[in-house]
Each structure stands twice: as structure tokens, then as C-alpha cells.
Amino acid sequence: MLILAFRRLISMVLIMAVVSFTLFSIFETDKLAVAGKVLGPYSNTEQREAWLDKNGYNEPFVERYFTWVGNAMVGDFGESIQFKVPVSEILWPRLANTGILAGLYMLVMIPLSLTLGVIAGMKEGSIQDRVVSVGSILTTSVPEFASATFFTAVFVFSLGWFPGTSAMTNGFSWAEIFLPVLVLVMYGFGYTARMTRASMAEVMTSHYIRTAVLKGIPYRRVILRHALRNALIAPFTVIILQLNWLLSGVIVVEVFFAYKGFGKLLLDGALFGDIYVIEACTLVAVFVAVFSQFISDIGYTLLNPRIRFT
Amino acid sequence: MTDINNSTAAPTLLSKIVKSIGMLKESPIAIFGLSLILFWVILAILAPILPLYDPNTPLEPFKFPLDGSAKNDGLYWLGTDHKGRDILSRVIFGAQQVLVWATMATAVAYIVGMFMGVVAGYLGGWWDETISFISNVLLSFPVIVLYIIIITYLGATGFNIVLAVTFASAPGIMRIVRGLVLDLRTRDYIFAAQTRGESALYIMIVELLPNARGPLIVDACLRLGYTTITIAMLGYLGLGLPPPDPDWGKMIAETQPLGSFAGHMAVVPAIAISSLVLGFNLLADGLREISMRD
């Protein structure tokens, strides 16, 4: 177990190293372009050279890379070109906002998709199975920006129940977070529900379930005590790995509802050409992705004693 | 081996297509999905000869669906947008855009992914180690970050979108193909080919890939749907194809602020994209069901 954790940790560090080096080479190989971005299009070459010299850009490339990584590790990502403040000052509050959004999404999506998946998988081919399966295909076919359009047309403009933007200018508001979470859940729950259904259906055909049923154990008890334990192992991994593509949905939702989150920061940075913001956001996003992969690997082994890596 | 193949009449391409359409009949879901896709494909192909207004010419702004035109006898079936462009025409020409780029991007991603997968699976060793590591690095990126970096660094053109989709999808395709090839390479017909002295390239392309096609067709359908979403999403986020050509995602982004009094402007392209993606997903589900029955 410890060996597995250690090996996964090493590969995690390796991936982060490759990613950060690639990122740095993409954005900071051309020093003059960096200076041009920071000082604006009207700066002349002399000013740019002076700026490069002052900010240590004339050191060798590899040395610059290590300084940059060292600073990033202690949370110093440089100064945002667009906002004129240190990137870390904007990054952490934005990340917290997205954390709230993603946390509420998980809180709704996990019980919903697990319940639906188990109900569908209990009896393969039954009416409830068909409804859940087709229903989840239907909801996963409507991308976030489309379902957000439909929901605002109904709930905001026709019924007037919710505000159309979620900028949270007067502090946190449940009414403003409702639609963003609903949009994310609509698109996201189908995948986990289908995975749970497949896993549950497979467990239900296994011999030990047949034995339990034939022994005369009440059906309810067979499902709750015997089937669920094994059926929920696979969805666990799926849920954690979802973090990786949840970010696309989060960006769309944050842009659509003007929610001040991490995704919007990344997109604004990219559209503006704010390289320090792009670098910081990418590093954080990849770190979260790699770390969730690590958790999912470890968790999977803990949950499933049949799998033992050496 | 070759003798046996020659003695039975080789099925022609036409009879193969007829046979696979016949198989589809078993699944109403697949039929429905296929008709949704064909609906958009036919509209996209016929777009230049259909009696439509030009998608980029401003006519009369803020017309609602079925409003008549004051300038001519025409009817705006789906209304016009804030710049006075005909929405029906923009949706149909937008279908052309999204179908062309989604198909192209998925095809390129498949060629790259299949090649990497078959090399990693069949040759193994260092090939496998290197290709798998590169894939793992790319897969550890949240896809959207990959798109944003590639497109902000290289610019938003059709070619770069194809490139970005390839970077994001090829590692996943490679993993599937590699897994299939690892299973297939121990089959007798591969040993037979090796004994005949066929080259590694021949075995990979002629013997391995055609036999791995079953699961790949289902995956390709799902990926087409996902790439459609991706292209529209990039358009929505302002990272898509440059204006003025219509793009479903961009149509939503442009008209979203007008939702309070002219909701149809954003709802129409939203329905369009959802129905096309639904078509791909239903077809994939139907095909999977058929393949599992056999």
C-alpha cells in the first residue's frame, strides 16, 4: 500500500515537472514578447530591455525556470498584467468561490446519480432502467451553455423566480447559486448514473447475489447489505476523476452567470493575454487534476481489497 | 489463411453497408439518433441551394419567429437576431460549420490516436513506455485548459481547433486502441502473419486495426458528439472560429444578454446543438446495445 502511494506520488511529481516546464517554455521563451505584454504595445525596445534586466530575465533559461517554480511553490505567481495586483491576491478568493460551486454540485449530484444508477441497475431492462438510461443520455446531450439558456428563459425571464446573473455583489446568495448548480448537475449526473447502473447490473448477475436471494434473504437486504458495497466501488473513481472535466462546465457556467470564480479568471486571463494569470491557473488546475487522480487510485485500492499493486 | 479468404466470396462494400443498416433496425433508439444526425447533415449539404437569406447580411433586426418581412414578401421562420440576420439561415449554415469541423477534428484525432495505440500495443517496450507517458501527461490536463492554452498561444483558426481537439482526444483513443491490441496480438492470425514474414506495419494496419473496429465505432460516435459540444463551447467562450460566419456557440453568446425580451435568439441555436449531440449519443447507445446482443 505504502509502495503504491509512493510510486503514484513520484509519477505525480514527474507529471507536474513536465507540465510546468512545458508551460514555462510556451509562455516565457520569448523574453521580449513577455516584456511587451507587461509594458503594453507602446513601449519601445529599450524600455523592454531595461525591464527584462531589472526583473532577472537575462539569467539562463533553466535558472529562470527554477526560480519561477520556486516562487510558484510558495504561492508567488507574479503580478497580474490586467489587474495590476499580485496574482495570488485574486487567485485564492476566486478558487474559493469555485470550490463552493463545485462542492454544492457534488453534494447534489452524488446522491442523485448513485440513487438513480442503483435503481436502474437493480433490474436490467426494466421500465425504471429504460427511463434512467434514456433520461441520462438526454441530459448529457444538452451542453451547459444550452441548458443554461433554457433554464434562464424559463426560470428567469418567464417565471421570474431567480436572478439571471450570479455576481454575488451583496455577499453569498442561495437564489443566485441555484441556477449555476442546477445547470452543472443536469449535464453531469448522467455519466455517473450510467456508470453506477453498469456496475450495479454487473454485481446483480454475480453468483453471490444469486446465492443470497436463494437463501431467502429479503430482497431489500440483499441490495443494501450485499450488492451496494461492491457496486459503489467503480462510481467512486468516476466521481473523483470527474473533477478533470468538471472544469469545462464550471468555466461555461461562470461566464454565463457572471460568477466570479476560478474558471472565469482563467478565461479572462487567456483572452487578455495575462500570462502570469494563465500560468498560475494552469498550474493550479493541473495540480488539482493530478492530485484527484492520486486520491482516486489510493481510494480504489483501499475500497477493493482484490486489487493489490506491488 | 489467404486461401480460405479467397474461396469465399468477399462481401462488397455496398452489401456491407446494407447489412449494417439492416442491423440498426433492431434498435429504435439508434434509428432515431441516426435520423437526427441525417436531418442536420442534409440541411447542411442543401444549405447553398435552399431558399434562404444570406446568413451574414443584416436585414431587419429584432423580428420574432414567423414575423413577415416589411421589405419583401418573405417570412422570417425563426425571426432575426439583434443585427437583423435571419436566424433560420444562420442555424443551417452554422450546422455546416460545426459538422465539417467536428468531423474533421474527430477524424484527425482518431488517425493519430489509433496510430499511437497500435504502435504502443503491438511494439511494446520503449514505444509503449514513451507513448503512454506522453498520454498520461496530456490526460492529466483538464481538457479545457489544454484548449485555452493551445488556442491563445496559436490563435483561433479552424486548423488550431483541430489541433487542440487532437491533443485532447488522441490520448484517450490511444488507450482504448492499446488495450484492444494487447488482447488481439496473442491471436493465431497474428502469429500466422508473423510466420508469413509480414512487416510490423502491415500487421498493425491490415491485421490489427480492422479487428479492433467494433468498440471504436461506438466510441467514435460519442466523441463526435463531444467534439460538437467542444466546438460550440469554444465559440461560446470567444475562442472559436473567427466571425462573421455563423457558429452555434457564438450565436448564444452574442444574444444571451437580450434574453429578457428576445429569448428565441439564443434558444434556437441551443436547441440545434442539443438535438445534434443527442443524435450522436443515441446512435452510440443503440450501436453498443446491438453489439452486446451479438
Please provide the distance, in angstroms rounded to a whole number, between the alpha carbons at the two ends of chain A.
8
User: What is the predicted pLDDT for the residue at A149?
Assistant: 87
How far apart CA B224 and CA B213 sit, in angstroms, is 16
pLDDT digits (tens, 9 = 90+) for A1-42: 778 788 888 888 888 888 888 888 888 877 777 777 777 777
- Nine cell digits for residue A137: 443520455
How far apart CA A35 and CA A44 sit, in angstroms, is 10
C-alpha distances in angstroms, B246 versus B56, B235, B262, B278? 8, 10, 18, 21
How far apart CA A104 and CA A93 sit, in angstroms, is 17
User: What is the predicted pLDDT for the residue at B8?
Assistant: 45
pLDDT digits (tens, 9 = 90+) for B114-146: 999 999 988 888 998 899 888 888 887 888 888
pLDDT digits (tens, 9 = 90+) for A275-301: 888 888 989 998 888 888 888 888 877
Q: What's the farthest any 2 CA atoms get from each other in chain A?
A: 87
Task: Tell me the helices (H) and strands (E) count for chain B, helix number first.
Answer: 13, 2
Residues A252, A180 contacting (CB under 8 angstroms)? no
- Tell me the one-letter amino acid at A62: V
Signed CA dihedral, B252, B257, B260, B262: sign only: negative
Q: Is the pLDDT of residue B71 over 70?
A: no
CB atoms B153 and A26 under 8 Å: yes
Q: Is the pLDDT of residue B83 over 70?
A: yes
Which chain B residue has its CA at the smallest distance from A148's CA? B270
A47 touches chain B (CB under 8 A): no
Measured between CB atoms, which of A143, A285, A293 is closest to B145? A285
Please name the residues between 123 and 152 in chain A that touch chain B, using a CB distance below 8 Å. 133-134, 137-138, 140-147, 149-150, 152
Please name the residues between 281 and 300 in chain A that touch chain B, using a CB distance below 8 Å. 281-282, 285-286, 289-290, 293
User: What is the predicted pLDDT for the residue at B223?
Assistant: 92
User: What is the predicted pLDDT for the residue at B114?
Assistant: 92
DSSP H helices in B25-86: 28-46
Residues A259, A181 contacting (CB under 8 angstroms)? no
User: What is the predicted pLDDT for the residue at B121?
Assistant: 87
- Tell me the one-letter amino acid at B237: L
Please name the residues between 157 and 186 in chain B that touch chain A, using a CB distance below 8 Å. none
Residues in chain A, pLDDT under 50: 309-310
User: What is the predicted pLDDT for the residue at A205?
Assistant: 86
Residues B60, B71 contacting (CB under 8 angstroms)? yes
Residues B162, B101 contacting (CB under 8 angstroms)? yes
Question: Could you tell me which of A252, A6, A287 has the C-alpha nearest to residue A145?
Answer: A252
A277 touches chain B (CB under 8 A): no
Which chain A residue has its CA at the smallest distance from B260's CA? A157
- Nine cell digits for residue A128: 425504471
- Share of residues in chain B with pLDDT > 70 (%): 88
ipTM value for the complex: 0.84
How far apart CA A74 and CA B116 sit, in angstroms, is 38
CB atoms B143 and A23 under 8 Å: no
How far apart CA B85 and CA B218 sit, in angstroms, is 38
Question: In chain B, which residues have their Cβ closer than 8 Å to the Cβ of A251?
Answer: 144, 237
User: What is the predicted pLDDT for the residue at A223?
Assistant: 84
